[in-house]
Structure 1
Amino acid sequence: MYYLYTITDSVSVPPKHMSEDAEGATTDILRSRYERTLDKDIGIILVVFNVRNISDGYILPADPNIHHDVTFDVLAFGLDVEEVVVGEVSELADFGLFVRLGPIDGLVHLSQITSDFITYDRKAGVFVSKNTKRTIKKGDTVYAKVSTVSMRNSIQDIKIALTMRADGFGKPEWIKEDKLKGIKEKRRKK
């Protein structure tokens, strides 16, 4: 989910920042370049911090900027297929529900909410399963598994598909009920 990375890069400080100290100018430029961006290798970069090892500035021919080599840390958010996540239901729709996963939402398609037949009651703003009568609504906490991650060019283009069909997923109450049901069935078999 959340990862820390150390990055080394070169920063170009324009003349308008010459009156600032090198650390402040470099930090501002790094934040504007990296924060709230998508890197396909590490995920969404949330924050830049701990800027250090700023080299003495050097000038390139025909370039008015001062360049510094610098090391810094970033906090990034990324998901892997098969990763188990916990999130809050942020929105319901006819085709499924959205789960808030840090800075982005993942979609649980209607067919992936539960193995039971489920319908959406738009008036009540709730999904209801046919046989078990389990419900799920906006604000509920759920456990899900990442089934696909599609990262394109921007944060807005990220698509996360989730599933809650397997045992051990869904609302915490569902998981607890299933565990108790399993214990009772084992006792009956003995």
Structure 2
Amino acid sequence: MFQVSPASSSFSKTEHYEELVAQARALIADETSLIANAANFSSLVFNSLDGLNWAGFYFFDGVELVVGPFQGKPACVRIALGKGVCGTAAQTGTTQVVRDVHEFPGHIACDSASQSEIVVPLFTADGSLIGVWDVDSPNVARFDDEDAKGMEALCRVFVERLAQTGAA
């Protein structure tokens, strides 16, 4: 059985993300189901990083972002492109690192406990929008550039697996 390694203070943040990338790759390597892989990926990240209150996917249905597998409290179900942090990441194609969500114009408060957020847009090799990977924290300034690099590396593993299974 696959085991999640909890956050360890003996690792640097970069080393911890490198370990998570290896764990994510092993966790989803043999599964072809988008839903199963998204669910396990969400659980891995949520249970391996400190200071999170939500981690999950929003998938693009051709019109808007629709909530997918996640860990945390119930979420907003649909988000328009260009709206909130998730919609902005999807529309601009750039990772959004928001130190204080109350300072982000148009922030959508799905959980009032969330204080900071990081959202990574997900694209196929040909540039088609898959959706976004969204992680929230109840702590202001929980995420930084190292987190962005780490989350982007994790998301590459997920997108690569989608491509291998033909789901992307």
Q: What TM-score do the two structures reach when normalised by structure 2?
A: 0.22
Higher relative contact order (CA 8 A, sep 6+): 2
Q: What TM-score do the two structures reach when normalised by structure 1?
A: 0.21
**Max Rg structure:** 1
